[in-house]
Chains A and B, each alone.
Chain A
Amino acid sequence: MNYHWNWHIFAQQVQGGSETYADWLAAGLGWTLACALCAWLIALALGTLAGALRTTGNRVLAGAGATWVELFRNVPLLVQMFLWFFVVPELLPRELSLWVKQDMPAKEFVTATLCLGLFTSARIAEQVRAGIQALPRGQREAALALGLTTLQCYSHILLPRALRIIIAPLTSEFMNTFKNSSVAFAIGLMELTFQARQMQEDSEQGIETYLAVTLLYFLCAIIANRAMALIEARTRVPGTPG
Protein backbone atom coordinates (compact mmCIF):
# COMPACT_ATOMS: atom_id res chain seq x y z
CA MET A 1 0.00 0.00 0.00
CA ASN A 2 1.77 3.13 -1.15
CA TYR A 3 -0.18 6.21 -0.25
CA HIS A 4 1.24 9.68 0.22
CA TRP A 5 -0.20 11.13 3.38
CA ASN A 6 -0.60 14.87 3.46
CA TRP A 7 -2.40 16.24 6.48
CA HIS A 8 -1.72 19.83 5.41
CA ILE A 9 -4.10 19.38 2.51
CA PHE A 10 -6.98 21.07 4.38
CA ALA A 11 -5.10 24.38 4.60
CA GLN A 12 -4.17 24.31 0.92
CA GLN A 13 -6.03 26.22 -1.76
CA VAL A 14 -8.30 24.34 -4.13
CA GLN A 15 -7.29 24.11 -7.76
CA GLY A 16 -8.32 27.23 -9.64
CA GLY A 17 -9.87 28.98 -6.64
CA SER A 18 -8.95 31.15 -3.69
CA GLU A 19 -10.68 29.18 -0.92
CA THR A 20 -9.05 26.29 0.97
CA TYR A 21 -10.30 22.70 1.18
CA ALA A 22 -11.28 23.40 4.80
CA ASP A 23 -13.61 26.11 3.49
CA TRP A 24 -15.27 23.54 1.24
CA LEU A 25 -15.87 21.15 4.11
CA ALA A 26 -17.15 23.97 6.36
CA ALA A 27 -19.64 25.01 3.67
CA GLY A 28 -20.65 21.35 3.29
CA LEU A 29 -21.22 21.01 7.02
CA GLY A 30 -23.40 24.13 6.93
CA TRP A 31 -25.66 22.71 4.20
CA THR A 32 -25.83 19.33 5.94
CA LEU A 33 -26.93 20.96 9.20
CA ALA A 34 -29.43 23.27 7.50
CA CYS A 35 -30.94 20.48 5.41
CA ALA A 36 -31.20 17.99 8.29
CA LEU A 37 -32.63 20.49 10.79
CA CYS A 38 -35.27 21.93 8.43
CA ALA A 39 -36.20 18.43 7.25
CA TRP A 40 -36.56 17.37 10.88
CA LEU A 41 -39.07 20.17 11.58
CA ILE A 42 -41.14 19.19 8.52
CA ALA A 43 -40.93 15.53 9.51
CA LEU A 44 -42.00 16.14 13.11
CA ALA A 45 -45.03 18.22 12.10
CA LEU A 46 -46.28 15.97 9.30
CA GLY A 47 -45.26 12.74 11.02
CA THR A 48 -47.17 13.62 14.18
CA LEU A 49 -50.20 14.51 12.09
CA ALA A 50 -50.10 11.31 10.00
CA GLY A 51 -49.44 9.14 13.05
CA ALA A 52 -52.30 10.72 15.00
CA LEU A 53 -54.67 10.33 12.03
CA ARG A 54 -54.04 6.57 12.04
CA THR A 55 -55.30 6.29 15.61
CA THR A 56 -58.50 8.33 15.25
CA GLY A 57 -60.73 5.34 14.53
CA ASN A 58 -62.17 7.14 11.52
CA ARG A 59 -61.66 4.87 8.49
CA VAL A 60 -61.06 7.66 5.98
CA LEU A 61 -58.56 9.51 8.19
CA ALA A 62 -56.78 6.31 9.25
CA GLY A 63 -56.61 5.23 5.61
CA ALA A 64 -55.09 8.58 4.62
CA GLY A 65 -52.47 8.20 7.35
CA ALA A 66 -51.67 4.64 6.28
CA THR A 67 -51.36 5.63 2.61
CA TRP A 68 -49.01 8.44 3.57
CA VAL A 69 -46.75 6.06 5.48
CA GLU A 70 -46.70 3.30 2.84
CA LEU A 71 -46.04 5.78 0.04
CA PHE A 72 -42.95 7.34 1.59
CA ARG A 73 -41.64 4.19 3.23
CA ASN A 74 -41.55 1.86 0.25
CA VAL A 75 -39.55 3.92 -2.23
CA PRO A 76 -35.78 4.42 -1.73
CA LEU A 77 -34.83 7.91 -0.55
CA LEU A 78 -32.56 8.43 -3.55
CA VAL A 79 -35.40 7.63 -5.96
CA GLN A 80 -37.65 10.04 -4.05
CA MET A 81 -34.97 12.73 -4.42
CA PHE A 82 -34.98 12.25 -8.19
CA LEU A 83 -38.78 12.28 -8.29
CA TRP A 84 -38.95 15.64 -6.46
CA PHE A 85 -36.11 17.11 -8.47
CA PHE A 86 -36.86 15.92 -12.00
CA VAL A 87 -40.48 14.78 -12.08
CA VAL A 88 -42.50 17.05 -9.77
CA PRO A 89 -41.54 20.31 -11.55
CA GLU A 90 -42.92 18.79 -14.79
CA LEU A 91 -46.30 18.19 -13.17
CA LEU A 92 -46.77 21.82 -12.06
CA PRO A 93 -48.68 24.43 -14.10
CA ARG A 94 -46.50 25.83 -16.91
CA GLU A 95 -45.60 29.18 -15.32
CA LEU A 96 -44.82 27.69 -11.93
CA SER A 97 -42.90 24.86 -13.57
CA LEU A 98 -40.67 27.32 -15.43
CA TRP A 99 -40.10 29.33 -12.27
CA VAL A 100 -39.16 26.24 -10.27
CA LYS A 101 -36.78 25.03 -12.97
CA GLN A 102 -35.10 28.36 -13.68
CA ASP A 103 -35.54 30.96 -10.94
CA MET A 104 -36.31 29.23 -7.66
CA PRO A 105 -33.61 30.24 -5.16
CA ALA A 106 -31.61 27.41 -3.55
CA LYS A 107 -33.46 24.87 -5.67
CA GLU A 108 -31.38 21.87 -4.56
CA PHE A 109 -31.72 22.81 -0.90
CA VAL A 110 -35.50 23.29 -1.01
CA THR A 111 -36.02 20.04 -2.94
CA ALA A 112 -33.70 17.95 -0.78
CA THR A 113 -35.12 19.31 2.48
CA LEU A 114 -38.73 18.78 1.44
CA CYS A 115 -37.95 15.27 0.22
CA LEU A 116 -36.00 14.27 3.33
CA GLY A 117 -38.70 15.80 5.55
CA LEU A 118 -41.49 13.81 3.91
CA PHE A 119 -39.42 10.60 3.89
CA THR A 120 -38.67 10.95 7.60
CA SER A 121 -42.26 11.91 8.43
CA ALA A 122 -43.43 8.42 7.45
CA ARG A 123 -41.06 6.86 9.98
CA ILE A 124 -42.05 9.32 12.69
CA ALA A 125 -45.72 8.65 11.98
CA GLU A 126 -45.22 4.97 12.81
CA GLN A 127 -43.54 5.85 16.09
CA VAL A 128 -46.22 8.38 17.04
CA ARG A 129 -48.89 5.79 16.30
CA ALA A 130 -47.11 3.24 18.50
CA GLY A 131 -46.77 5.86 21.25
CA ILE A 132 -50.47 6.74 21.19
CA GLN A 133 -51.45 3.07 21.13
CA ALA A 134 -49.24 2.43 24.15
CA LEU A 135 -51.37 4.80 26.26
CA PRO A 136 -54.18 3.32 28.37
CA ARG A 137 -57.47 3.53 26.48
CA GLY A 138 -59.12 5.15 29.50
CA GLN A 139 -57.16 8.36 28.91
CA ARG A 140 -58.91 9.11 25.64
CA GLU A 141 -62.26 8.12 27.06
CA ALA A 142 -61.77 10.25 30.16
CA ALA A 143 -60.76 13.26 28.06
CA LEU A 144 -63.80 12.89 25.81
CA ALA A 145 -66.08 12.33 28.81
CA LEU A 146 -64.82 15.60 30.29
CA GLY A 147 -66.15 17.34 27.21
CA LEU A 148 -62.90 17.85 25.31
CA THR A 149 -63.21 17.73 21.52
CA THR A 150 -61.14 15.13 19.65
CA LEU A 151 -58.68 17.85 18.65
CA GLN A 152 -58.31 19.03 22.25
CA CYS A 153 -57.97 15.44 23.43
CA TYR A 154 -55.04 14.90 21.05
CA SER A 155 -53.29 18.20 21.66
CA HIS A 156 -53.65 18.30 25.45
CA ILE A 157 -53.72 14.66 26.53
CA LEU A 158 -52.60 12.04 24.01
CA LEU A 159 -49.80 13.70 22.01
CA PRO A 160 -47.92 15.27 24.97
CA ARG A 161 -47.79 11.86 26.62
CA ALA A 162 -47.14 9.79 23.48
CA LEU A 163 -44.28 12.02 22.34
CA ARG A 164 -42.57 11.59 25.71
CA ILE A 165 -42.89 7.81 25.44
CA ILE A 166 -41.27 7.65 22.00
CA ILE A 167 -38.40 10.04 22.67
CA ALA A 168 -35.78 7.25 22.43
CA PRO A 169 -36.75 6.10 18.91
CA LEU A 170 -37.17 9.77 17.95
CA THR A 171 -33.58 10.39 19.01
CA SER A 172 -32.25 7.70 16.69
CA GLU A 173 -34.51 9.01 13.91
CA PHE A 174 -33.07 12.49 14.45
CA MET A 175 -29.57 11.06 14.09
CA ASN A 176 -30.70 9.19 10.97
CA THR A 177 -31.85 12.48 9.44
CA PHE A 178 -28.27 13.76 9.44
CA LYS A 179 -27.05 10.53 7.89
CA ASN A 180 -29.82 10.47 5.29
CA SER A 181 -29.13 14.06 4.24
CA SER A 182 -25.98 12.66 2.59
CA VAL A 183 -28.18 11.29 -0.20
CA ALA A 184 -28.86 14.87 -1.33
CA PHE A 185 -25.45 14.95 -3.03
CA ALA A 186 -27.11 13.15 -5.94
CA ILE A 187 -29.26 16.16 -6.86
CA GLY A 188 -26.34 18.54 -6.41
CA LEU A 189 -26.85 19.95 -2.91
CA MET A 190 -23.31 20.94 -1.87
CA GLU A 191 -23.46 19.22 1.51
CA LEU A 192 -20.71 17.20 3.20
CA THR A 193 -20.77 14.13 0.95
CA PHE A 194 -20.84 16.27 -2.19
CA GLN A 195 -17.87 18.28 -0.90
CA ALA A 196 -16.04 15.10 0.11
CA ARG A 197 -16.33 13.67 -3.42
CA GLN A 198 -15.33 17.00 -4.90
CA MET A 199 -12.34 17.40 -2.59
CA GLN A 200 -11.21 13.83 -3.20
CA GLU A 201 -11.20 14.37 -6.96
CA ASP A 202 -9.61 17.80 -6.71
CA SER A 203 -6.89 17.01 -4.17
CA GLU A 204 -6.44 13.22 -4.69
CA GLN A 205 -6.04 12.91 -0.91
CA GLY A 206 -9.03 10.60 -0.48
CA ILE A 207 -8.22 9.06 2.88
CA GLU A 208 -7.63 12.38 4.67
CA THR A 209 -10.76 13.80 3.05
CA TYR A 210 -13.04 10.92 4.00
CA LEU A 211 -11.56 10.69 7.51
CA ALA A 212 -12.33 14.36 8.12
CA VAL A 213 -15.85 14.10 6.70
CA THR A 214 -16.56 10.88 8.64
CA LEU A 215 -15.48 12.70 11.79
CA LEU A 216 -17.82 15.59 11.01
CA TYR A 217 -20.73 13.14 10.58
CA PHE A 218 -19.79 11.58 13.93
CA LEU A 219 -19.90 15.05 15.45
CA CYS A 220 -23.38 15.66 14.01
CA ALA A 221 -24.58 12.34 15.44
CA ILE A 222 -23.20 13.10 18.90
CA ILE A 223 -24.64 16.63 18.96
CA ALA A 224 -28.04 15.35 17.80
CA ASN A 225 -27.96 12.69 20.51
CA ARG A 226 -27.04 15.19 23.27
CA ALA A 227 -29.63 17.71 22.08
CA MET A 228 -32.38 15.11 22.30
CA ALA A 229 -31.16 14.01 25.76
CA LEU A 230 -31.44 17.64 26.86
CA ILE A 231 -34.98 17.88 25.49
CA GLU A 232 -35.86 14.60 27.18
CA ALA A 233 -34.64 15.92 30.54
CA ARG A 234 -36.39 19.28 30.11
CA THR A 235 -39.76 17.81 29.13
CA ARG A 236 -39.88 15.06 31.72
CA VAL A 237 -43.00 15.17 33.83
CA PRO A 238 -41.85 15.59 37.44
CA GLY A 239 -42.34 12.44 39.45
CA THR A 240 -42.31 10.02 36.50
CA PRO A 241 -39.52 7.46 36.09
CA GLY A 242 -37.13 8.29 33.30
Chain B
Amino acid sequence: MLPNLDLEVVGASLPFLWTGLLFSLKLTLVAMSGGIVCGTLLALARLSSIAPLRNAAAAYVNTLRAIPLVMVILWFFLVIPLLTGKPVGAENSALITFTLFEAAFYGEIMRAGIQSVPRGQVAAARALGLTYAQSMRHVVLPQAFRNMLPLLLTQTIILFQDTSLVYAIGAKDLLKAAEVTGKNYNRPVEMYVFVALIYFAICFALSRLVRRLQARVAIVR
Protein backbone atom coordinates (compact mmCIF):
# COMPACT_ATOMS: atom_id res chain seq x y z
CA MET B 1 0.00 0.00 0.00
CA LEU B 2 1.71 3.20 -1.08
CA PRO B 3 1.31 5.72 1.74
CA ASN B 4 0.16 9.17 0.63
CA LEU B 5 3.49 10.86 0.21
CA ASP B 6 3.89 14.38 1.52
CA LEU B 7 6.31 16.16 -0.77
CA GLU B 8 6.03 19.45 1.11
CA VAL B 9 8.26 18.11 3.85
CA VAL B 10 10.96 17.49 1.25
CA GLY B 11 10.82 21.13 0.13
CA ALA B 12 10.79 22.41 3.68
CA SER B 13 13.77 20.28 4.62
CA LEU B 14 16.05 21.48 1.82
CA PRO B 15 18.03 24.19 3.69
CA PHE B 16 18.64 21.81 6.59
CA LEU B 17 19.67 18.96 4.28
CA TRP B 18 22.02 21.34 2.46
CA THR B 19 23.86 22.06 5.71
CA GLY B 20 24.12 18.33 6.34
CA LEU B 21 25.33 17.66 2.79
CA LEU B 22 27.99 20.36 3.17
CA PHE B 23 29.34 18.62 6.26
CA SER B 24 29.33 15.24 4.49
CA LEU B 25 31.25 16.78 1.57
CA LYS B 26 33.67 18.59 3.90
CA LEU B 27 34.33 15.35 5.73
CA THR B 28 34.88 13.55 2.41
CA LEU B 29 37.26 16.20 1.06
CA VAL B 30 39.27 16.57 4.29
CA ALA B 31 39.58 12.80 4.72
CA MET B 32 40.47 12.38 1.04
CA SER B 33 43.26 14.98 0.96
CA GLY B 34 44.54 14.10 4.43
CA GLY B 35 44.18 10.41 3.71
CA ILE B 36 46.09 10.57 0.42
CA VAL B 37 48.95 12.55 2.00
CA CYS B 38 49.20 10.28 5.07
CA GLY B 39 48.55 7.23 2.88
CA THR B 40 51.44 8.11 0.55
CA LEU B 41 53.75 8.44 3.56
CA LEU B 42 52.46 5.08 4.83
CA ALA B 43 53.10 3.51 1.43
CA LEU B 44 56.66 4.85 1.39
CA ALA B 45 57.14 3.48 4.91
CA ARG B 46 55.79 0.08 3.87
CA LEU B 47 58.25 -0.04 0.96
CA SER B 48 61.14 1.28 3.03
CA SER B 49 64.30 -0.73 3.60
CA ILE B 50 64.19 0.12 7.34
CA ALA B 51 62.52 -2.89 8.97
CA PRO B 52 60.97 -1.23 12.07
CA LEU B 53 59.39 1.50 9.92
CA ARG B 54 58.09 -1.09 7.46
CA ASN B 55 56.60 -3.27 10.20
CA ALA B 56 55.00 -0.36 12.04
CA ALA B 57 53.30 0.85 8.87
CA ALA B 58 52.13 -2.67 8.01
CA ALA B 59 50.73 -3.15 11.52
CA TYR B 60 48.84 0.17 11.32
CA VAL B 61 47.33 -0.61 7.92
CA ASN B 62 46.39 -4.22 8.71
CA THR B 63 44.84 -3.34 12.06
CA LEU B 64 42.61 -0.59 10.68
CA ARG B 65 41.56 -2.77 7.75
CA ALA B 66 40.45 -5.58 10.06
CA ILE B 67 38.15 -3.50 12.30
CA PRO B 68 34.70 -2.21 11.25
CA LEU B 69 34.70 1.53 10.58
CA VAL B 70 31.92 2.02 13.14
CA MET B 71 34.20 0.62 15.84
CA VAL B 72 37.04 2.91 14.74
CA ILE B 73 34.68 5.90 14.92
CA LEU B 74 33.59 4.90 18.42
CA TRP B 75 37.22 4.31 19.46
CA PHE B 76 38.40 7.77 18.47
CA PHE B 77 35.34 9.45 19.93
CA LEU B 78 36.25 7.80 23.23
CA VAL B 79 40.04 8.10 23.14
CA ILE B 80 40.68 11.58 21.69
CA PRO B 81 39.07 13.42 24.66
CA LEU B 82 41.04 11.19 27.04
CA LEU B 83 44.30 12.06 25.30
CA THR B 84 43.68 15.78 24.86
CA GLY B 85 41.88 16.21 28.16
CA LYS B 86 38.96 18.11 26.66
CA PRO B 87 35.92 17.16 24.56
CA VAL B 88 36.48 17.80 20.84
CA GLY B 89 32.91 17.36 19.58
CA ALA B 90 31.47 14.78 17.20
CA GLU B 91 32.31 16.76 14.02
CA ASN B 92 36.02 17.25 14.80
CA SER B 93 36.31 13.70 16.02
CA ALA B 94 34.84 12.49 12.72
CA LEU B 95 37.31 14.60 10.70
CA ILE B 96 40.31 13.14 12.56
CA THR B 97 38.97 9.58 12.51
CA PHE B 98 38.19 9.49 8.82
CA THR B 99 41.54 11.01 7.84
CA LEU B 100 43.49 8.43 9.86
CA PHE B 101 41.22 5.54 8.82
CA GLU B 102 41.23 6.35 5.10
CA ALA B 103 45.02 6.76 5.16
CA ALA B 104 45.24 2.97 5.54
CA PHE B 105 43.12 2.42 2.42
CA TYR B 106 44.64 5.16 0.26
CA GLY B 107 48.04 3.91 1.45
CA GLU B 108 47.46 0.46 0.00
CA ILE B 109 46.39 2.01 -3.31
CA MET B 110 49.49 4.24 -3.41
CA ARG B 111 51.69 1.25 -2.56
CA ALA B 112 50.31 -0.60 -5.58
CA GLY B 113 50.84 2.57 -7.62
CA ILE B 114 54.46 2.95 -6.59
CA GLN B 115 55.06 -0.73 -7.39
CA SER B 116 53.45 -0.25 -10.80
CA VAL B 117 56.28 2.10 -11.82
CA PRO B 118 58.98 0.03 -13.56
CA ARG B 119 62.02 -0.50 -11.33
CA GLY B 120 64.35 0.70 -14.07
CA GLN B 121 62.96 4.21 -13.66
CA VAL B 122 64.03 4.37 -10.02
CA ALA B 123 67.46 3.01 -10.92
CA ALA B 124 67.76 5.52 -13.77
CA ALA B 125 66.75 8.40 -11.51
CA ARG B 126 69.27 7.42 -8.85
CA ALA B 127 71.96 6.92 -11.53
CA LEU B 128 71.32 10.48 -12.69
CA GLY B 129 72.27 11.62 -9.21
CA LEU B 130 68.80 12.32 -7.81
CA THR B 131 68.43 11.71 -4.09
CA TYR B 132 65.76 9.28 -2.79
CA ALA B 133 63.43 12.18 -2.05
CA GLN B 134 63.98 13.76 -5.46
CA SER B 135 63.49 10.52 -7.37
CA MET B 136 60.24 9.89 -5.48
CA ARG B 137 58.97 13.42 -5.94
CA HIS B 138 59.86 13.94 -9.58
CA VAL B 139 59.80 10.44 -11.06
CA VAL B 140 57.91 7.79 -9.10
CA LEU B 141 55.06 9.50 -7.27
CA PRO B 142 53.67 11.53 -10.21
CA GLN B 143 53.39 8.33 -12.27
CA ALA B 144 52.07 6.28 -9.34
CA PHE B 145 49.44 8.92 -8.68
CA ARG B 146 48.39 9.04 -12.30
CA ASN B 147 48.20 5.26 -12.63
CA MET B 148 46.09 5.00 -9.51
CA LEU B 149 43.81 8.01 -10.08
CA PRO B 150 40.73 5.92 -10.95
CA LEU B 151 41.22 3.71 -7.88
CA LEU B 152 41.78 6.73 -5.62
CA LEU B 153 38.53 8.25 -6.86
CA THR B 154 36.63 4.98 -6.46
CA GLN B 155 37.88 4.85 -2.88
CA THR B 156 36.61 8.43 -2.45
CA ILE B 157 33.11 7.35 -3.55
CA ILE B 158 33.22 4.60 -0.93
CA LEU B 159 34.47 7.18 1.58
CA PHE B 160 31.57 9.50 0.76
CA GLN B 161 29.11 6.66 1.42
CA ASP B 162 30.90 5.74 4.63
CA THR B 163 30.60 9.27 6.01
CA SER B 164 26.99 8.34 6.81
CA LEU B 165 28.41 6.18 9.63
CA VAL B 166 29.11 9.27 11.76
CA TYR B 167 25.52 8.53 12.76
CA ALA B 168 27.13 6.39 15.49
CA ILE B 169 28.45 9.47 17.31
CA GLY B 170 25.65 11.84 16.33
CA ALA B 171 27.55 14.19 14.00
CA LYS B 172 25.19 16.23 11.81
CA ASP B 173 25.78 14.94 8.30
CA LEU B 174 23.35 14.53 5.40
CA LEU B 175 21.73 11.37 6.77
CA LYS B 176 21.37 12.81 10.27
CA ALA B 177 19.77 15.95 8.83
CA ALA B 178 17.25 13.82 6.92
CA GLU B 179 16.51 11.73 9.99
CA VAL B 180 15.95 14.76 12.22
CA THR B 181 13.62 16.43 9.68
CA GLY B 182 11.75 13.17 9.23
CA LYS B 183 11.19 12.99 12.97
CA ASN B 184 10.23 16.67 13.36
CA TYR B 185 7.61 16.52 10.59
CA ASN B 186 6.67 12.91 11.43
CA ARG B 187 7.43 11.99 7.81
CA PRO B 188 10.38 9.55 8.06
CA VAL B 189 9.44 7.59 4.91
CA GLU B 190 9.70 10.58 2.58
CA MET B 191 12.96 11.76 4.10
CA TYR B 192 14.71 8.36 4.00
CA VAL B 193 13.71 7.86 0.35
CA PHE B 194 14.78 11.38 -0.55
CA VAL B 195 18.17 11.10 1.13
CA ALA B 196 18.75 7.71 -0.53
CA LEU B 197 18.06 9.37 -3.90
CA ILE B 198 20.59 12.12 -3.16
CA TYR B 199 23.29 9.60 -2.22
CA PHE B 200 22.47 7.52 -5.29
CA ALA B 201 22.60 10.50 -7.67
CA ILE B 202 25.97 11.69 -6.36
CA CYS B 203 27.62 8.25 -6.23
CA PHE B 204 26.24 7.09 -9.57
CA ALA B 205 27.37 10.28 -11.33
CA LEU B 206 30.83 10.07 -9.75
CA SER B 207 31.26 6.41 -10.68
CA ARG B 208 30.37 7.21 -14.30
CA LEU B 209 32.94 10.00 -14.23
CA VAL B 210 35.60 7.64 -12.91
CA ARG B 211 34.88 5.17 -15.70
CA ARG B 212 35.40 7.89 -18.32
CA LEU B 213 38.54 9.09 -16.63
CA GLN B 214 39.89 5.54 -16.52
CA ALA B 215 39.88 5.37 -20.30
CA ARG B 216 41.58 8.75 -20.64
CA VAL B 217 44.40 8.65 -18.10
CA ALA B 218 45.80 5.26 -19.04
CA ILE B 219 49.47 5.85 -19.80
CA VAL B 220 50.40 4.72 -23.26
CA ARG B 221 53.72 2.94 -23.05
Give the B-binding residues of A (Cβ under 8 A): 1, 3, 70-71, 73-80, 82-83, 86-87, 90-94, 97, 175, 178-183, 185-186, 193, 196-197, 200, 206-207, 210, 213-214, 217-218, 221
Contact = CB atoms under 8 A, between A and B. Distances in A.
A127 to B, nearest CB: 15
B200 interface: yes
A83 B74 contact: no
Interface of B: 1-3, 66-71, 74-75, 78-79, 82-83, 85, 161-162, 164-165, 167-168, 175, 179, 188-189, 192-193, 195-196, 199-200, 203-204, 207
A79 B74 contact: no
A82 B167 CA distance: 12
Contact of B74 (A73, A197, A221): A197
Contacts of A175: 66
9 contacts: A75-B161, A82-B175, A91-B1, A93-B1, A179-B69, A182-B71, A186-B168, A196-B71, A210-B71
A1 B82 contact: yes
Chain A residues touching B, majority SS: helix
Contacts of B2: 91
A94 B1 contact: yes
A213 B68 CA distance: 10
Given A74-B200, A206-B78, A207-B79, A182 B70 contact: yes
Contact of B204 (A74, A87, A93, A178): A74
A47 B170 CA distance: 33
Given A214-B67, A217-B66, A82 B192 contact: yes
Contact of B78 (A90, A178, A181, A210): A210
A103 B128 CA distance: 75
